[in-house]
Homo-oligomer: A and B are copies of this chain.
Amino acid sequence: MQQRGPSSPSCSTSDCFPLGTLNTAACGSETSAEPQKREPAGLFRMRPIVIFYGFYLLCFGLGVACVVCVCLWNSKWRGGFAWDGSSLQFNWHPVLMVTGLVVVYGNGAVLYRIPLTWGQNKLPWKLLHAALMLLALVLSIVGLCAVFDFHNAQKTPNLYSIHSWIGIAATALFAMQWVAGMAGFLLPCSPISLRKRLKPMHVWLGGSILTLSIAACISGINEKLFFVLKGINMTQPYSALPPEALLGNSLGVLIVAFGLVVLKILSTREWQRPDSRPEDMAYTPLLQEENE
Interface residue A233 (Cβ < 8 Å from any Cβ of B): no
Tell me whether A238 is interfacial, beta carbon within 8 Å.
yes
Choose, from A66-74, A92-100, A132-140, A214-222, the stretch at the interface. Answer: A214-222
Q: Which residues of B contact A218 (CB under 8 A)?
A: 162-163, 166, 215-216, 218-219
Closest to A45 in B: B20
User: A249 interface residue, CB < 8 Å from B?
Assistant: yes
> Which residues of chain B are near A7, meaning CB under 8 Å?
18
Q: Which residues from B are CB-within-8-Å of A32?
A: 276, 291
Considering the chains assembled together, what is the distance between the CA atoms of A21 and B118 in angstroms?
Answer: 10
State the number of copies, please: 2
Closest beta carbon of chain B to A167's beta carbon, Å: 10
Report whether A1 and B207 are in contact in the complex, using a CB–CB cutoff of 8 Å. yes
Complex Cα distance A19/B211, Å?
A: 28
Cβ of A208 within 8 Å of any chain B Cβ, yes or no, is: yes
**Residue A274 contacts which of B17, B157, B211, B275 (CB distance < 8 angstroms)?**
B17
Beyond the given A3-B204, A34-B289, could you list 15 further A-B residue pairs with CB under 8 A, ordered by the A residue number?
A1-B267, A2-B2, A2-B203, A21-B115, A22-B119, A22-B277, A34-B291, A160-B240, A162-B222, A162-B248, A163-B218, A165-B253, A166-B252, A211-B211, A211-B260
Which A residues lie at the B interface, using CB under 8 A? 1-12, 14-22, 24-26, 29-34, 41, 44-45, 48-49, 115, 118-119, 156-157, 160-163, 165-166, 192-193, 196-197, 199-200, 203-204, 206-208, 211-212, 214-216, 218-219, 221-223, 225-226, 238-241, 245, 248-249, 252-253, 256, 259-260, 263-264, 266-270, 272, 274-277, 281, 289-292
